[in-house]
Copies of this chain bind each other. A is one copy, B any other.
Amino acid sequence: MKIEIWSIGKTKEGYLQSGETLYLKRIKNYHTAELVLFKEPKTGKSNASQVKKLESEVFLKSLQPDDYVILLDEHGKQFDSVGFARQIQKWFNQSPRRLIFIIGGAWGFDSSLKMRSNFEMSLSKMTFTHQMVRLIFLEQLYRAFTILNNEPYHNT
């Protein structure tokens, strides 16, 4: 089983890129994981709801029927870090071919993608830039593996 983190658009800020690279490398000590950044669709003069739809279509087109899909959405279920680690273990137990976490753009997800998804989770009630969400999520994923392996990173 492979973990993939999907998002749209390159990480523009160099400092965030460095952080992503750092945590991806750490995560790979535990599990195969990849950050997949899709090309932004041409949105032209689209309004928020149209942009959301176009972005969600980019993701939908690349999904396969046996992918387990988790959307990161501020209205999704909140976990604490230990709870998130336990939930990851549960998803692992279901052994999907791919466990895909999708980080939406500024306008969130279209209902078409919400319908297809298996789970919605939230990192915070607060709105972060989606580029910063990538870093925050990768750090939590790394933390989850250290928790599942009883390693001392959590709480240091």
Contacts and interface: CB of A to CB of B under 8 A. Distances in A.
Interface in A113-156: 123-129, 132, 135-136, 139-140, 143, 154-156
A107 B135 CA distance: 22
B74 A125 contact: no
A108 B80 CA distance: 15
Given A15-B22, A19-B15, A139-B132, A154 B125 contact: no
Per assembly, the copies of the chain total 2
Interface residues of A, number: 32
Contact of A123 (B80, B126, B129, B156): B126
Contact of A19 (B16, B83, B107): B16
Contacts of A154: 127
Chain B CB count within 10 A is highest, among A79, A124, A143, A154, for A124
Contacts of A14: 15, 18
